[in-house]
Amino acid sequence: MASVKPTEYNGHPAVALQSSDGARATILLHGGHLVSWVPAGGQEQLYVSPTSEYGEGQAVRGGVPVIFPQFSSRGTLPRHGLLRTRGWQLVEMPSHGKHAQAVLRFVADDRTRALWPHEFEAEITVSLIGQQLDIEFAVTNTGDAGFEFAVALHSYLRTNDVLKAQLEGLQGVKYEDNTTGQWQQQWGDVTQVVGEVDRLYHDAPSPLTLRELGRKVSIAQSGFTDVVVWNPGPVKAAQLDDLPDDDWQKMLCVEAARVIDPVTLSPGDEWAGMQTFIAG
């Protein structure tokens, strides 16, 4: 049977999911943050930095941080918004046959209102079975005024050697290169890391495929319109206190995002987006 059980991750409260076929995942209550995904019969698919910091006010380096309502430093809020550094509540552990699923919720409070004066409820739903993992983020406007937001699932995918990995499926897509501030168009089908990569692809297709020797992961999304591809490269990695200098080679971020055209949400309305991974 599928199971959802309270657990700890690096000494912090978490939820452990296991589907009936043995697929496993772990979600921190801090940040509603997925930190582990092991497909049935497979190996860990997510990267989490061994030097990451945990606890109130800290942002975990790796896994799948939830970015809302601001992406990066594109606004006046703290970097990447309000949710990844705060505690969430486990509200539901539904039974869906062989699937294992957990729902975590965050509700606007006085601390978020002091920074962003809006009423909202956010939910992250993680569901897994076999080789597939679904991550859905939903937000409801519970106030009496509309608001606008950006959102992303900042997924860190593990690589054996990012220099030999290939991300396929972005041929012809325009992207904002955040290392130069310029817009460009990708001509080839394969994206490879040879140094720092920080690209925001607009109107990105789905699915994409991350491929390396003996392994591939299909990456699909719905509701999100953008894809962020990020790796700090050796120079920037050396400047990050919560990332070992050489660990930039062990991961590639492929993020489902809605940044270029933010979401406008009227009172009482809900928006939801999903990112799906299938290991092969």
Q: Which two tokens stand for residue 272?
A: 């939801």
State CA 119 to chain mean position distance: 23
Q: Which residues contact 9 (CB under 8 A, 6 or more apart)?
A: 26, 28, 35, 36
Distance in angstroms between the alpha carbons of the first and the last residue of the chain? 23
The 24-28 sheet, strands edge to edge: 3-9, 12-18, 24-28, 33-38
Say which of 154, 168, 176, 196 is annotated catalytic. Answer: 154
Residue 33 annotated to the active site: no
d(CA 176, CA 91): 38
Catalytic residue among 123, 136, 176, 255: 255
**255 flagged as catalytic:** yes
Positions annotated as catalytic residues are 154, 255
